């Protein structure tokens, strides 16, 4: 299975980065998987869409940068997408949001049918998995709305098709969690992801 794992935290020594690395190691140890690790901060991925990209967005060739073309190729081969990021201000970090805006474009994430209606173009993606850290307790997140989760499991799923399965893992009130709780979350998360994708990889 071709798996793309995206890290949306700017710090390489963060808890999110540690989760990301554990997921990568676990998946790479399975011969059934081919893993592409995207560390947006390490790549210095540009967050903002340029004015030239905005003009190109409405054309048949919206990808005009080498970095977005390369990432689009990853998406077009992916069977599973895994996002690891911190929830800030009830949403996605700027770099991850910018990645979606610049790469999930016409011809990559969606297309138009003969009736000029939008249709999903990433039908190759069978799984969307999100892993996020939250500074707030679960009840607060539920009250405010988890916009990052909605973007990835609903909006992005509209680009992959309704048959795509979703999975979510979140650790809440992170600042008051013990080291044991953090470690348990990572271990459980990695095990659940590996189990989900191993089972899917062996299906005909």
pTM for this prediction:
0.95
Please compute the mean of the pLDDT values over residues 78-106 and round it to a whole number: 97
Class of domain 2-194: alpha beta
The pLDDT-based confidence of 203 (bands split at 50, 70, 90) is low
Q: What is the DSSP string of the chain?
A: -EEEEEE--S-TTSHHHHHHHHHHHHHHTSTT-EEEEEETTTTT---SPPHHHHHHHTSS----SHHHHHHHHHHHH-SEEEEEEE-BTTB--HHHHHHHHHHS-BTTTEEE-TTS-EEE--TT--EEEEEEE-SS-HHHHHHH--HHHHIIIIITHHHH-TT-EEEEEEE-SGGG--HHHHHHHHHHHHHHHHHHHHHHHT--
- pLDDT per position as a tens digit, 11-67: 999 999 999 999 999 999 998 899 999 999 999 999 999 999 999 999 999 999 999
The pLDDT-based confidence of 2 (bands split at 50, 70, 90) is very high
């Amino acid at each position: 299975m071709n798996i793309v794992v995206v890290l949306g935290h700017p710090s390489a020594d963060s808890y999110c980065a540690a989760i990301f690395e554990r997921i990568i190691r676990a998946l790479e140890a399975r011969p059934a998987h081919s893993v592409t690790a995207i560390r947006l901060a390490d790549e210095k991925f540009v967050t903002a869409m340029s004015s030239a990209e905005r003009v190109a967005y409405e054309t048949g060739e919206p990808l005009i940068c080498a970095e977005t073309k390369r990432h689009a190729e990853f998406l077009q081969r992916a069977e599973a997408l895994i996002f690891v990021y911190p929830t800030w201000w009830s949403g996605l970090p700027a770099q991850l949001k910018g990645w979606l805006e610049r790469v999930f474009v016409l011809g990559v994430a969606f297309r138009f049918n003969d009736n000029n209606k939008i249709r999903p173009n990433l039908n190759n993606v069978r799984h969307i998995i999100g892993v996020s850290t939250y500074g707030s307790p679960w009840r607060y997140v539920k009250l405010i709305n988890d916009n990052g989760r909605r973007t990835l499991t609903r909006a992005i799923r509209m680009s992959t098709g309704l048959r795509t399965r979703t999975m979510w893992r979140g650790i809440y009130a992170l600042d008051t969690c013990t080291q044991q709780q953090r470690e348990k979350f990572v271990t459980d998360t990695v095990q659940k992801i590996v189990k989900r994708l191993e089972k899917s990889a062996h299906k005909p």
